[in-house]
Amino acid sequence: MSSTPCIKCQIGPSVLNSDLANLASESNRVLDSGADYLHLDVMDGHFVPNITFGAPVVKCLRSKVPVGTYFDVHMMVSEPEKWIRDMEDAGCNRFVFHYESTDRPADLIRLVREAGMDVGVVVKPKTPVSVVYPLVDHVDMVLIMTVEPGFGGQKFMTDMMPKVADLRARYPNLDIEVDGGLSPATIDAAAQAGANLIVAGTAVMKSDNPKDVIQQLRDSVNKWLVYKTPA
């Protein structure tokens, strides 16, 4: 027996592999092409072997995109708690922290909520999905990395799909995001496993037709997005 899904498909392009010197126009280009939100990759050169940008850049971007644009900020940093206030001030909507970056995830979740932001927890490929079970009721979203965090343009890790499927089976209404290597060629695997929030960097930003790519991603997710009620 099935019923109307309680979760929705949303496509959030990652601007990491775009022309970062023109971040505002690149962001508006994908928003005009049908993106539901923007995925902003913050890296500190410590938690991951790359450096991108932080709250000052996010804050500048906030004033250059339409009011209401949702900023999903992927914090690939050590000591994420240091940046909660700055990210809230910069206009971050969802603060997504790595499980591996903190010893006190429950405290971090509370602090992010107190700052008025949505909160997501993300796991690297080698981290078992079971670590998020105790946190699911307290977060708005779980992100399953489908590449090692740090760089855009990597190969999609199909072997992460059992983690997505496990979560979807346990939590039919949870927002489950996937990030890394998503494209029209790989989306079916992620959609079938149960992902409903799709981050796509290279596939969208480097396409001559981002609208078409976003639509293909959306069509695949919607095809598989059937909420099955418990027997």
Residues recognised as catalytic: 41, 179
**Residue nearest to ligand DX5 as judged by C-beta position:** 201
Nearest-Å Rg of the Cα atoms of the chain is: 16
Among 26, 41, 72, 175, binds Zn ion (CB under 5 A): 41
Binding residue count for ligand DX5, defined by CB under 6 A: 22
Beta bridge partners of 142: 121, 176
Distances (CA, A) of 18 to 57, 161, 191: 15, 27, 25
User: Shortest CA distance to 132 belongs to which of 163, 154, 111?
Assistant: 163
Question: What is the smallest separation between the CB atom of 229 and ligand DX5, expressed in angstroms?
Answer: 33
Task: Tally Cβ neighbours within 10 Å of residue 224.
Answer: 18
Give the residue, chosen from 196, 202, 216, 220, that forms a contact with ligand DX5 under the rule CB under 6 A: 202
The residue range among 19-27, 62-70, 177-185, 207-215 that interacts with ligand DX5, by the rule CB under 6 A, is 177-185
Q: Which one among 28, 72, 73, 74 touches ligand DX5, defined by CB under 6 A?
A: 74
Q: What residue 38 binds from ligand DX5, Zn ion, none (CB within 5 to 8 A, per partner kind)?
A: none
Quick one: residue 190, left, alpha or beta (phi over 0 = left, psi -120 to 50 = alpha)? alpha
Q: Smallest distance from the beta carbon of 81 to ligand DX5, in angstroms?
A: 20
Residue 38 near residue 71 (C-beta atoms within 8 A): yes
User: Which member of 120, 149, 194, 210 binds ligand DX5 (CB under 6 A)?
Assistant: 149
**Cα gap 122→135, rounded to integer Å:** 11
| Residue 12 near which of Zn ion, ligand DX5, none (CB within 5-8 Å, type-dependent) | none
Rounded to 5 degrees, what angle do the CA atoms 190, 195, 201 make?
70
Residue 226: half-sphere exposure toward Cβ, Cα within 13 Å? 6
- CB closer to ligand DX5 out of 47 and 229: 47
In the window 59-118, what residues touch Zn ion (CB under 5 A)? 74
10 binds ligand DX5 (CB under 6 A): no
Contact 14, 201 (CB under 8 A): yes
Choose which of 80, 91, 181, 194 interacts with ligand DX5 (CB under 6 A). Answer: 181
- Contacting residues for 211 by C-beta, under 8 A, at least 6 apart: 33, 34
Q: Tell me the residue type at 132.
A: V
Asked if 44 interacts with ligand DX5 (CB under 6 A), we say no
Of 180, 191, 198, 210, the one binding ligand DX5 (CB under 6 A) is 180
Binding site for ligand DX5 (CB under 6 A): 14, 16-17, 39, 41, 74, 147, 149-154, 179-182, 199-203
